[in-house]
Amino acid sequence: MHELLERTIREASSYFQNFLIHEYSKKSALHAVDARIKLIATIIFVVLAVSTFNPEKVLLVLIFLITISAVTGLSLRSIAERVWLFALFSFIVVLPISLSNPIYPVTFTLRVATSLVAIQMLVMTTSFAEICLALRSFRVPEVFVSALWLAYRYVILMFKELLSILLARESRRVSKGSHMDVWRKGGEAVGLFFLRSFEKAEKVQLAMEARGEALSHYHGKLKMLDFVYATIVAFTVFWWVII
């Protein structure tokens, strides 16, 4: 039982960490699109997905997103790997409603999946620093952007710490042990995890202070590719309205 629990925590940590980290190994055309355009496009796609209960409209947005990803060379498999768990979870959560409204769980899951695909298209092709800078260029208050940036850094660190503790335990787990032992050791590991996360967070804070934690301003002019992408988004909105 405890092995299953430990494996679940490890897989979940790896999943959530991966969900937040932007893809850097495979470049696509979307990587070259300006972060500000991608940010606005993501907000538009999410709004389109969640502001309707018409499954055809949601499906239209999802098809557009998948097509854009495929055409620009973004790995559909990577997107699916990052999205499926949340989509499945949302489906399970609303499944009881199917007794009164059979189509609702499908529509709801489609909305969640579409929003997540849109977010992943941004996360996988844009570093978090660029996203924060794009937010600043839209005059989002600095305190909000800084808090977002710090939260992102610490969440990544926290999952990294958790994964390293689990891997270290795994490397020296030579017997199953009694349940009592497992819970006692597990409790100690959790305590240590919080202590280490706290210590690491302090070190990161010092490192950020040493090198300056303020995000600079966004530079760069819009290119032809940015206008092409903006046109595609407008085209999606147009079809969403007339369908």
Interatomic CA distance for residues 198 and 191, integer angstroms? 11
Q: Does 180 contact another protein by CB under 8 A? A: no
Q: With binding defined as CB under 8 A, does residue 202 bind another protein?
A: no
Count CA atoms within 13 Å of residue 235 on its CB side. 10
| Contact status: 10 vs another protein (CB under 8 A) | no
Residues 20-59: x/- map of binding to another protein (CB under 8 A)?
-x-xxxx---------------------------------
Closest contact distance (angstroms) between CB of 164 and another protein is 4
Do residues 30 and 38 touch, judged by C-beta distance below 8 A? yes
User: In whole angstroms, what is the distance from residue 225 CA to residue 163 CA?
Assistant: 39
Segment 148 to 177, residues that bind another protein, using CB under 8 A: 164-165, 167-177
Rounded-to-integer distance, Cα 222 and Cα 219, Å: 10
Nearest residue to 235 (alpha-carbon basis) of 59, 118, 65, 46 = 65
How many chain residues touch another protein (CB under 8 A)?
A: 31
- Largest CA-CA distance found in the chain, in angstroms, rounded: 64
Torsion of CA 144, 50, 91, 75, to 10 degrees: -80
Q: Does 103 bind another protein (CB under 8 A)?
A: no
Query: Would you state the structure tokens that stand for residue 56, as one six-digit string?
Result: 């055809």
- Closer Cβ to another protein, 25 or 100, answer by number: 25
Cβ closer to another protein: 153 or 169?
169
**142-171 vs 128-137: helix axis angle to the nearest 10?**
170
Q: Is there binding between residue 121 and another protein (CB under 8 A)?
A: no
Shortest Cβ 175–another protein spacing (Å): 4
Considering only 147, 195, 207, 228, the residue that binds another protein (CB under 8 A) is: 195
Beta strands in 25-136 (DSSP E): none
Which one of the spans 19-27, 28-36, 45-53, 110-118 is the region binding another protein (CB under 8 A)?
19-27
**Closer by beta carbon to another protein, 144 or else 194:** 194
Residues binding another protein (CB under 8 A): 14-15, 18, 21, 23-26, 75, 78, 81, 164-165, 167-177, 188-189, 191-192, 195-196, 199
